[in-house]
Structure 1
Amino acid sequence: MSNNYLNNMNSSDEQELEFHKNTETILVIDDSPTNLEILHDVLGNAGYEVLVEMDGASGIEQVETNPPDLILLDVMMPKIDGFETCRRLQADPSTKDIPIIFITALTEAEEKVKGLNLGAVDYITKPFEQQEVIARISLHLKLRKLNLELDKQKQELEVRVKERTLELSQTLEQLKHTQLQLVQTEKISSLGQLVAGVAHEVNNPIGFISTNLHYANQYIEDLLILVGLFQKNCSNPGSEIEAQIENMDLGHIAKDLPKLMSSMKLGTDTIKGIMQSLRNFSRTDGDKKKLVDIHQGIEATLMILQHRLKAYSKRPAIQVIKDYSILPKIKCYPGQLNQVFMNLLANAIDVLEESMNDSICVNHEEYIPINPQIRIGTTIDKHHVTVTIADNGKGMPESVMNDIFQPFFTTKPEGKGTGLGLSISYQIITENHGGNLQCISSPGEGTEFIIKIPF
């Protein structure tokens, strides 16, 4: 077959291009011009667009530039035979899915098996029946269409699965947040009810005692004046009275009794202050934000945690250093904000206790001195109120820092932490108040939490 003939077979006018653009393309690779001419006519009459090449190298180049829907490939060709051509096409990811049908005079089973093992889908033996060629081509083109459609559906399914997985993940996260909100709401509600009940039970007797202490103190003062006048104007009260005065140490009682009454008054005032702190801490927020002094919330939280700040037999007191700026009243949910202060301060105390326990002893004898501190600061700028709560504990590595605000994440031993405190705090600050909660920490350098609330 001449090059002019091949060129004529590969060329077409605009009408032919329009006719063939939606038809399936068959590439025939064969070194026999006679076979090429027959197959071109047969396949063309069957409605296929036909491309032809006379050697394997040209065939591979044709496939790369103009991928066909199916390849008819002769085995016995010069330079690159059909087996090597097939191997190269199958090794290329961009061409490996194009079905290849060997068409050859080789009839040995070993040759057929070799071709099929290389990736061919079928084998046609020369001389061939034209109808058989058309039938086999039609079958494998249908199979290819089905495979392509299956791949398309598989990809669409994978996309839908990813989308659905993303939706489920988002729903799960939303459920976690909802769960945290429910836990937070129930916790504050329960605490508020408890405090209200305790305050009601305590305030009445404390009020009664505080009121009566005032009168008792006045009565005692009057009686002491009367005793003094009696001692001044009665020079000889009798031996029995003098013995009783000596036994009871009247002079000491006269000096100590006013101090005792003052201490009792201070004790009742302290109890009143604690109850007021509890009420401030657990106040009900309602649906709207309120203007409050956040310093009161911090002080109320410190009052509740006071027992944990005191020194123990194996632990010094935790010093609280305050650096408060003058702040206006801030519009917020005070009960929720107090819960954040409680979580952060309680965590700081836990960390300091752990730090002291971890460094309590060296060589079983020497003790490392430690000065546990919690620093609380407040500042204000044009847009935000900032509250910082920092400790000088052992700090955290970056691997822990990345997860501290995740729900249920905790580094505490089992039974000592739920992993909800910091997550709830983050949600309260960022979502409920539109602010920001940041943590800065590194091993050996302590930990600082920075709360920013817009106003």
Structure 2
Amino acid sequence: MNIPVLETGVILIVDDNPNNLEVLSETLMDTGWEILIAVNGEGAIAQAEYACPDIILLDVMMPGIDGFTACQRLKSNPVTCDIPIIFMTALSETVDKVKGLSLGAVDYITKPFEHEEVLARIKTHLQIRNLTKQLQTHNQQLQQEIADRLAVETKLQKLTQELEQRVEERTFQLSQALHNFQQAQVRLLQQEKMSTLGELVAGIAHEINNPVNFILGNLNHASEYTQNFIDLFQLYQQYYPNPEVEIQQKIDEIDLDFLMQDSPQIMSSMYKGTKRLAQMIHSLRHFSRRDDSVVQPIDIHEGIDSTLLILQYRLKANSERSEIQIIKHYGTLPPVECFPGPLNQVFMNLLANAIDAIEESFITNTNFSKIASSSVHLLSVEDNGKITIRTALHKQGSVVVIKIADNGIGMTEEVKQRLSEPMFTTKPVGKGTGLGLSISRQIIEEKHGGTLSFVSEPGKGTEFCIEIPVLSQKA
């Protein structure tokens, strides 16, 4: 089955496996797209800088620099940072997929390749790429037209009021058109991101759920059987304290006393680990609810906890900072009618931004400490990063309020004024898209009829406040 191709473009395929290159080349042969090939990360970076392809299909495992390093370098280069990157990975490489998306990749293609899926994904991201270029062109045209209008107003000050009114109306129409175009682009990116993330998370949870449940269900039996064997050995020792020489040698060889003492502890550790894995699967399945067309009554706290569990790896201590503490002040809330998947994404965006703000404060203060005199203490930053989450009912129980506060770097007045603009971000190139807060605001205000506000002060942190009705008006 051939999928009709409506977009033209240049595709750079990066893979050190000739078979993969052959399969992808044959798949894309009749599309009309120009195909470029690189067999390692260095070659990919060089070709990307020279040819500026529209999309890069990037393998993870390669000789020399791997796909992740190549992605980081491409995203940090102003010449190539805007080129969409689609990772090529196996379905079992869960960590690779999540890491790839966090580095700035827009999608992934699983191995072995499916013809229709490859074409469909490439076509979708070509359309998004072309929309982005159209937006840039439209912005340039709009700026030029506004400049021309201002020049006309300067030279022709005696124009009639009617002409001035027409200019104002035209400017408003152009601004409204730009705003509508930006909002449409944000929605398109939001839908594609949630679709990709939902498929990834749901697929991971589905693949490992049954094996984990199987192990968890059998560990109780294994523990019971192990204890039975231990009890039996102890009875033998009680009634046959002097075994044959060969048996005694084997007992000494395997250190039977240690085995009987350590085996229950091993079983207990295995049970705790598998239980933890089962909880993670539950959180992934809860987070990846993709049906955003139907309002459902859900437990808000479960959504927040699921998101925190997914972000647990980012909260742990590392070489640059101590562990980030999570402080919960949960109120008593009824089930809230909402769209679970999009609301979980809001929690993910706000919590991830809080973690970024705390990490930036540690980096800033570390650099400042190197400059400051050792005899004068110039910093008053808390030793530990903290994120505080509060929930409560307001307005006679009709509105749920969720507050997420951090003690990170905070925001200046300039940043606060521009924070609602789509595409605006304070993060380095390749690390942030500037869409997180814009998408979150759309989800809260348009989908749930609520409000999203914040307060922030440089050096003292930021607090976001979500207010949504308990009973949805969107049902």
Check whether TM > 0.5. Answer: yes
Aligned mate of 2:338, from 332, 338, 361: 332
Shift of 1:253: 1.3
Q: Distance in 2 between matches of 1:208 and 1:363?
A: 53
Structure 2 counterparts to residues 362-373 of structure 1, below 5 A = 362-363=369-370, 370-373=383-386
Q: Distance in 2 between matches of 1:183 and 1:446?
A: 29
| Partner residue, 1:430 | 445
Structure 2 counterparts to residues 247-266 of structure 1, below 5 A = 247-266=253-272
Aligned mate of 1:301, from 307, 321, 340: 307
When normalised by structure 1's length, the TM-score is 0.64
| Partner residue, 1:279 | 285
| Partner residue, 1:374 | 387
Distance 1:402 1:151, change over 3 A: closer
Q: Distance in 1 between matches of 2:288 and 2:203?
A: 12
Task: Please say if 1:416 is aligned against 2:441.
Answer: no
Query: How many pairs were matched up?
Result: 306
Greater Cα shift, 342-351 or 436-445:
436-445
In structure 1, runs of 5+ residues without a counterpart are 1-149
Percent identity between matched residues is 51
Shift of 1:151: 10
Task: Please say if 1:394 is aligned against 2:401.
Answer: no
- Whether the aligned pair in 2 keeps the contact of 1:285 and 1:336 (CA below 8 Å) is no
- Whether the aligned pair in 1 keeps the contact of 2:317 and 2:324 (CA below 8 Å) is yes
Q: Distance in 1 between matches of 2:403 and 2:241?
A: 69
Aligned mate of 2:176, from 163, 167, 170: 170
When normalised by structure 2's length, the TM-score is 0.61
Shift of 1:302: 0.2
Shift of 1:204: 2.0
SS at match of 1:434: coil
Greater Cα shift, 319-328 or 191-200:
191-200
| Partner residue, 1:211 | 217
Distance 1:372 1:286, change over 3 A: closer
Shift of 1:363: 4.1
Shift of 1:306: 0.3
Distance 1:393 1:151, change over 3 A: closer
- Whether the aligned pair in 1 keeps the contact of 2:453 and 2:464 (CA below 8 Å) is yes
Please list the CA deviations of residues 39-61 of structure 1 after superposition, one character each: whole Å capped at 9, or x if unmatched: xxxxxxxxxxxxxxxxxxxxxxx
- Whether the aligned pair in 1 keeps the contact of 2:342 and 2:443 (CA below 8 Å) is yes
- Whether the aligned pair in 2 keeps the contact of 1:319 and 1:372 (CA below 8 Å) is yes
SS at match of 2:250: helix
Q: Distance in 1 between matches of 2:188 and 2:344?
A: 17
SS at match of 2:466: strand
Aligned mate of 1:223, from 226, 229, 247: 229
Q: Distance in 2 between matches of 1:202 and 1:279?
A: 11
Please list the CA deviations of residues 366-420 of structure 1 after superposition, one character each: whole Å capped at 9, or x if unmatched: 5966221000000102232110000111211111101112100001111111000
Q: Which amino acid aligns with 1:374?
A: I
In structure 2, runs of 5+ residues without a counterpart are 1-155, 471-475
Aligned mate of 1:343, from 341, 346, 349: 349
SS at match of 2:411: coil
| Partner residue, 1:450 | 465
Q: Which amino acid aligns with 1:294?
A: I
Distance 1:393 1:286, change over 3 A: closer
Q: CA RMSD in A?
A: 2.1
Please list the CA deviations of residues 186-229 of structure 1 after superposition, one character each: whole Å capped at 9, or x if unmatched: 22222221122111211122122222222222221121111111
| Partner residue, 1:108 | none
Q: Which amino acid aligns with 2:197?
A: L
- Whether the aligned pair in 2 keeps the contact of 1:437 and 1:452 (CA below 8 Å) is yes
- Whether the aligned pair in 1 keeps the contact of 2:327 and 2:386 (CA below 8 Å) is yes
Task: Please say if 1:185 is aligned against 2:191.
Answer: yes
Q: Distance in 1 between matches of 2:448 and 2:338?
A: 7
SS at match of 2:319: coil
Greater Cα shift, 263-272 or 156-165:
156-165
Q: Distance in 1 between matches of 2:390 and 2:308?
A: 14
Aligned mate of 2:200, from 185, 190, 194: 194
Shift of 1:152: 10
Shift of 1:247: 2.6
Shift of 1:171: 2.0
